[in-house]
Amino acid sequence: MMDGTDASAGIRYPFDAPPEEGCVTRIAEGVFWARLPLPMALDHVNVYILDDGDGWTIFDTALDTTRNRGIWVKLLAGPLRGKQVKRVIVSHHHPDHVGLAGWFQSGGTPLWATRTAWLFARMLTQDPQETPPPEMLTFWRRAGMAPDLLEKRARERPFNFCDIVAPMPLGFQRISEGDVIRAGGRDWDVRLGQGHAPDQITLWSRDCPLVLGADQLLPSISPVLGVYATEPDADPVADWLDSCARLKEHARDDHLVLPGHKLPFTGLPLRLTQKIENHISALKRLEAHLAVPQVASACFGPLFKRTVTEATYGLALSETLAHLNYLLARGRVTRTLRDDGAWLWQAAQATK
């Protein structure tokens, strides 16, 4: 969900441009930034390399593609030459962050992650599907997907995790809330975020104002807060709002946040306030829209305030359902099952 934050709103970007492909930018002593491409509208992911003296710690990896493997080879033979990668830390289980973790593991590099992230990633790499399973079709039908689009998607090969995530060998080192990790010549406090992905790692330096924020702490955009067929009644928006409020207790204006996408930024307390307000405003717009009963697929307008294309339809639908579930859990909307199998949502005040 875009929210339009920029420097004029109090967010500052100390770096004008990202590093060139196959190059790194020095952020601070022992902390380096690289960027790898993604084949989508959000066309990049940031990864960070921490100098441990006798080797490197890598924070996130990008998708498993031929191009990205080549970029890593170039990095290892160029600015990172002379030292081995001794550890990969994966912030969360999404493909653009975990994609090449198994590739590094296959060369003997240990993987560090939360238990939840590792279980999700390893399970999903071993679950290829040629057509959508019945649970997925029911999920789409209940969301009000148009019959012609539902029929089309029922015949197509769905997104498969294993297409862009390298096989993950057995074994990992668990990271938990409250841990302290030594990397890049400094100690980092582990604070887990929720909502976008379960148990997402953020790392907060103890001796200088640096935060590795992954997708939990982004400037100018908010990550997808989605509901999927695996857990159709989940409430990730509540998890997200709770995480933003909790992390705000630790945030300082001078924290330099190293995000999973876009540019490093300062102004974290303000940014977390904006994240909370962004979704509260979206929930109010959605609730007003439901004065008249609607299926989920008819609610894109008030949430996103822009056209949703077929390419972004799936993510838009999952995020719309997340916001509807939030309102449902708090009694602000009701839902009834139509004869065609779609949930019809309505603001509770409209039914009184």
How high is the mean pLDDT in each 10-residue block of the chain (352 residues)? Answer: 51 97 98 97 96 98 98 98 97 98 97 98 96 96 94 94 96 98 98 98 97 97 95 98 98 98 98 97 97 97 89 93 98 96 93 62
Q: What's the confidence (pLDDT) of residue 311?
A: 85
Contact 210, 184 (CB under 8 A): no
What does the alpha-carbon distance between residue 277 and residue 281 come to, in Å, rounded to a whole number? 6
Structure tokens at 64: 């498993």
Q: Residue 147 to residues 133, 229, 341: CA-CA distances in angstroms? A: 17, 18, 11
Q: What's the confidence (pLDDT) of residue 3?
A: 52
Q: What's the confidence (pLDDT) of residue 152?
A: 95
Q: What is the DSSP secondary structure assignment for residue 134, as one 8-state letter?
A: H
What does the alpha-carbon distance between residue 352 and residue 349 come to, in Å, rounded to a whole number? 5
If you classify domain 7-287 with CATH, what class do you get? Answer: alpha beta
Q: What's the confidence (pLDDT) of residue 91?
A: 98
- Residue 221 — φ and ψ, nearest 5°? -135, 160
Q: What's the confidence (pLDDT) of residue 18?
A: 98
Strand-pairing partners, residue 180, are: 189
Q: What's the confidence (pLDDT) of residue 5?
A: 44
Closest residue by Cα to residue 314 from 106, 76, 153? 153
Q: What's the confidence (pLDDT) of residue 310?
A: 86
